[in-house]
Amino acid sequence: MLQSLASNSCVRLIQNHKSTWYFVSLVLGYLLYLIFGAVVFSSVELPYEDVLRQDLRAIKKQFLQENECLSEDRLERFLKKAMEASNYGVSILNNASANWNWDFTSALFFASTVLSTTGYGHTAPLSDGGKAFCIIYSVIGIPFTLLFLTAVVQRIMVFSTRRPVMYIHTRWGLSKPLVAIVHATLLATLAVSCFFLIPAAIFSALEENWNFLESFYFCFISLSTIGLGDYVPGEAANQKFRELYKVGITVYLILGLIVMLVVLETFCELQQLKQLRKMFYLKKEKQPDRLAILEHDHLSFTTVSSRETPHNEDKTQQFVRVPALASPNDDPMIQ
């Protein structure tokens, strides 16, 4: 008996807090996914890092042996200075000294990466004034960019998703959820082709040291606003039409970000995903004012009903209370 009561109470507890349990499972799943990613990245990349460290030590040792007049401390100071400059996008190599990081087109590309929160990190402000302006520029520009992207995506969604789905649904009488799923799949396929596969082929042809996988990797890292900065186009030595190339990349990043947001919004409007999201959301509680109005209406209805009930009973009693006739001669009309 006690076990059945305990089991029933546990079942009621789980049912009453179903969204909370779903949310806890979501958090645990996310943590497990983070741990899974860390394990995979560590197991894959750690051996390559070890090999690279050994190669650098061997090259450094060989360099010091061939140049005995140079001490290890002086070499360390030189390499440290060169690495600090490289972190700001300034290279000491002769073939890279011709490219400027803060001409107009490069600054335009940097501004687009700041506002889109991509932030490759290959170029950073050098002066205190530039760092202060970058903070102010970002504080104003990032919300402005979100407003701009929201307005653009909302207008594009009307013509790219909502009207086509409604037209097919009303014209051919197909199921609206089915039409929405097929439309979202076709839209995602078109976006991947036009903003990942084709640009990857173009970048692999324009960039000398990039293959197709590296170019596709750059497109994905950029349009997902991850922006690791390990691959940045237009930074090669003697790049032809570098200014025009930088402007084209800036336009590609802005258009690609808009298209990615349109695709994501299209998938978010699917009925199946809406139901999935509701599993993890808190239930909307009724506002106190609305509850007070409903209670007041209920009390008013109850009061009116109670007032009308005796009146109706009196009416029925007026017609029901008729003396019974024992015989037809008792009727005064007959008499």
Q: How many domains does the chain have?
A: 2
Q: What is the pLDDT of residue 277?
A: 81
Whether 153 has a pLDDT exceeding 80, the answer reads yes
CA 33 to CA 29: how far, in whole Å? 6
Return the half-sphere exposure (C-beta side, CA atoms, 13 A cut-off) of residue 317.
Answer: 6
Q: Which of 81-85, 173-177, 183-187 has the lowest mean pLDDT?
A: 81-85
- The pLDDT assigned to 251 comes to 94
Which domain, by its residues, includes 12?
1-70
The residue among 319 and 53 whose pLDDT is bigger is: 53
Report how far residue 255's alpha carbon sits from residue 191's, in angstroms, rounded to the nearest whole number.
11
Residues 113, 33: one domain?
A: no
Same domain, 198 and 51: no
216 in the same domain as 107:
yes
Q: pLDDT tens across 268-315, in order?
A: 989 888 888 888 887 766 565 555 555 555 545 454 445 544 544 444
* Mean of all residue pLDDT scores within the chain: 81
From CA 230, how far away is CA 248, in angstroms rounded? 20
**Residues 145 and 274 occupy one common structural domain:** yes
All residues at 6 or more sequence positions from 104 whose CB lies less than 8 Å from its CB, including other chains: 243
> What six digits make up the tokens of 202?
């173009």
Question: Could you tell me the two tokens for 59?
Answer: 């090259």
Contact between residue 227 and residue 120 where contact means Cβ atoms under 8 Å apart: yes
CB 112 within 8 A of CB 232: no
- Structure confidence at residue 333 (pLDDT): 44
Report pLDDT digits (tens) over 56-75.
889 988 888 888 888 888 88
Domain co-membership, 144 together with 243: yes
- Of all residues in the chain, what percent carry a pLDDT higher than 70? 77
Tokens of 260: 């990615």
Assign 3-class secondary structure to 95-122.
HHCCCCCCCHHHHHHHHHHHHCCCCCCC
The C-alpha atoms of residue 161 and residue 172 are separated, in whole angstroms, by 17
Q: How far apart are CA 330 and CA 327, in angstroms?
A: 6
